Chain A
Amino acid sequence: MDETTAFEAVRSSTLEVLPELDPAAVTLDGSLSDLGANSIDRTEITTLAMERLDITVPVTEFHAVRNIASLVELLRKYG
């Protein structure tokens, strides 16, 4: 899976959970927390991204995710 596909899944999931965001604000070098996502929002965004990509990432793997770039990387690993 290429980076663009994984990032697009994260971006569209983020905008679904936080619709008031400026779409341009979601970038690879940002973090979901900085965009105003609480811990439940972040879990929901990652679940929706998995669903969009039709993949399963073990839940324990997400503990190491610190920003959007590492989330995208993790999704690609399982894609």
Chain B
Amino acid sequence: MTRPVLVTGLGARCSTARDVPSFTAALRAGTCGIRTVDGDALDPGSHTLAPLDDFDLDTELAALPGVPAVLRRSASRAARRSPQPVRSALLTALEAWLDAGLHTAPVPGDRIALVVGGTNLSSRYVFEQHSVYDRRSAHLAARYALHVQDTDHVATLSQVLGVTGEGCVVGASSASGGAAVVQAARLIECGAADVALAVGALGRLGPLEWQGLATLGALAVPAADGADGWVCRPFDVDRRGFVPGEGAACLVLESAGSARARGVGGLARLTGYAQRLDANSLSDPSVAGEARTMNAALSRAGLEAGALDYVNAHATGTPAGDDAELAALRQVLGESAGRPWLNSTKALVGHCLSAAGVLEAVATVVQLRAGFVHPNPALRRPVDGALRYAGRTAETARLEHAMTTSFGFGGFNTALVLRRC
């Protein structure tokens, strides 16, 4: 008998929101953060993305309600000089930490684990420093050796939050966030931790990554005729690629026993999860792999697919990706294909890459709790009419069971099953 895993805290930050309350409002309103951003000296190309504008850490810490002064000082001292991805991860982790009441009803530091999802998070930072180095090598940022490592996320968050249990970075391409949640849940189930933070980290793309993705033909380019402004169109016959997004998110997972002992209620229960490989190094998705992963997660949850009320799909808006996922969902849901609501958060906030799995798990918990399905405003003509798509405005819905998926280049698949508490 494994220990039940609850979600006791949420944190989120992306192009449309600085925290979970504003994220909830933006989801409900169907606010889209995608725009075309002009180039700069470092990267002259203009890009279509859902950007997270840069921010001053101290200003954002002051805007986060209820941060104890000692925690605010510690966060500022540890990360005000850090690249934006680390500052973003820290703010979402702090938000989730406070949401879970870990500042008022604490858990011993060595019973808390920290799993950060995402690798190659410093691509843009490396590119920036490259030009400094080329000009005069001695002027390379003094903290480069620390900041260039993805593990700097774990190190910084652990210092600020006093986490002394297990900690690591996990990578699974665009499914890294999902993989982080899976690993965090395992640490709780096996008794290695009572609380585990799963952080989906922001990876800012540098010019080389933009070029590389463009070369693969994966990126959506705005229609020449500017057709109704929607660039990212999951499930729509006019889908034409994905739009990168910038964001970070955090889920606090906790054993039911620990939450009870602290007098903290669960926001949702993580009833099932799965991670599976396709044995494929390329970028093409696998219907069989995705279906196997969804079935494994549902099986772990002890849930019939027909009992799902809501699916937050990976659905990036690429033809191959959307089609594979729809086929996998048809397979998994069988006769219940038309039952659960289906939408894609990426239509609103872009594909937040490493962070997507966690950010979309936060979106799923928010919708379970508030009883609504956020819109997919870009969807006009679905490619497969058998499923129940979210419409152009939010739908009120009583939701009990939900699944959220993430898939990544190289055959990485994850699925999480969540239940309203």
**A1 interface residue per 8 A CB criterion:** no
A40 near B142: Cβ-Cβ < 8 Å: yes
Residue pair B139, A50 in contact (C-beta under 8 Å): yes
Q: Does A74 contact B (CB under 8 A)?
A: no
Complex Cα–Cα for A46 and B80 (A)? 18
B81:A59 contact, CB within 8 angstroms: no
Q: Is the CB of A44 within 8 A of B143?
A: yes
User: Which residues of B have CB within 8 Å of A50?
Assistant: 138-139
Q: Report B118-173 residues with CB < 8 Å from chain A CB.
A: 136-143, 146
Residue of B80, B138, B141 touching A59 (CB-CB under 8 A): B138
The reply to whether the CB of A57 lies closer than 8 angstroms to some CB of chain B is: yes
Q: Could you say which of A19, A44, A56 contacts B142, with CB atoms under 8 Å apart?
A: A44
In the docked arrangement, what's the CA distance between A51 and B136, Å? 9
Interface residues of A (CB under 8 A from B): 17, 19, 40, 43-44, 46-48, 50-51, 54, 56-57, 59
Does B146 contact A40, Cβ atoms closer than 8 Å? Answer: yes
Q: Which of B238-252 contact A (CB under 8 A)?
A: none
Return chain A residues, CB-CB under 8 Å to B140.
47
* Least distance between A44 CB and chain B CB atoms (Å): 4
Most buried by B among A40, A43, A51: A51
Q: Do A51 and B146 form a contact, CB below 8 Å, given A17-B81, A44-B81? A: no
- Which residue, B80, B140, B142, B146, has most C-beta atoms of chain A within 10 A? B142
Give 6 nearest A-B pairs by CB, closest first: A44-B142, A47-B142, A56-B138, A43-B142, A51-B139, A50-B138
A46 to B137, CA, bound (A): 14
Majority SS at the chain A contact face: helix
Contacts of A17 on B, CB cut-off 8 Å? Answer: 81
Scan residues 83-116 of chain B and give those whose CB is less than 8 A from a CB of chain A.
none
7 A-B pairs within 8 Å (CB atoms) are namely A40-B143, A44-B81, A47-B140, A50-B138, A56-B136, A56-B137, A57-B138
In the complex, chain A residues whose CB is within 8 Å of the CB of B80:
19
Q: Size of chain B's interface in residues, with CB distance under 8 A? A: 11
- Once the chains are docked, how many angstroms separate the CA of A8 from the CA of B336? 71
Q: What separation, in Å, do the CA atoms of A48 and B140 have in the docked complex?
A: 9
CB distance from B40 to the nearest CB of A (A): 20
**Separation in Å of the B147 CB from the closest CB of chain A?**
11
Q: With a CB–CB cut-off of 8 A, which chain B residues contact A19?
A: 80
A47:B81 contact, CB within 8 angstroms:
no
CA distance in complex: A12, B143 (Å): 18
Q: List the A residue with the shortest CB-CB distance to B136.
A: A56
Cα–Cα distance between A17 and B76 once the two chains are bound (Å): 11
* Complex Cα–Cα for A51 and B135 (A): 11
In the complex, per-residue mask of B34-76: 1 if CB is within 8 Å of any chain A CB, else 0: 0000000000000000000000000000000000000000000
The docked-state distance in angstroms from the alpha carbon of A44 to that of B144 is 10
- Tell me if B146 and A47 are in contact (CB < 8 A): no
Residue among A43, A46, A47, A48 facing the most chain B CB atoms (10 A cut-off): A47
Complex interface: chain B residues within 8 A of A57 (CB) = 138
**Complex Cα gap A46–B143 (Å):** 12
C-alpha gap A43/B140 in the complex (Å): 11
Residues of B within 8 A of A48 (CB): 142
Q: In the complex the two chains form, is A47's CB within 8 Å of B141's CB?
A: yes
- How close is B216's CB to chain A, nearest CB, in angstroms? 37
Q: How far is the CA of A9 from the CA of B421 in the complex (A)?
A: 57
Question: A56 to chain B: which residues have CB within 8 Å?
Answer: 136-139
When C-beta atoms are compared, the residue in chain B nearest to A45 turns out to be: B142
A47 to B144, CA, bound (A): 11
Hey, which chain B residues are within 8 Å of A46, CB to CB?
A: 142
| A-B contacts besides A17-B81, A47-B139, A57-B138, 20 pairs, CB < 8 Å | A19-B80, A40-B142, A40-B143, A40-B146, A43-B142, A43-B143, A44-B81, A44-B143, A47-B138, A47-B141, A48-B142, A50-B138, A50-B139, A51-B136, A54-B136, A56-B136, A56-B137, A56-B138, A56-B139, A59-B138
Indicate with 1 or 0, residue by residue over B337-353, a CB within 8 angstroms of chain A CB atoms: 00000000000000000
CA distance A43 to B142 in the complex (A): 6
Residues of A near B137 (CB, < 8 A) are 56
Nearest chain A CB to B389 CB, angstrom units:
49
Q: How far does the Cβ of B172 sit from chain A's closest Cβ, in whole Å?
A: 31
The CA-CA distance from A67 to B199 in the complex, in Å, is 41
- Minimum CB–CB distance from B75 to chain A (whole Å) comes to 13
Task: Tell me the smallest distance from the CB of A14 to a CB of chain B, in Å.
Answer: 13
Q: How far is the CA of A22 from the CA of B80 in the complex (A)?
A: 18
Q: How far is the CB of B320 from chain A (nearest CB, A)?
A: 46
Question: Which B residues are CB-close (under 8 A) to A59?
Answer: 138
Distance of B314 from chain A, by nearest CB (Å): 39
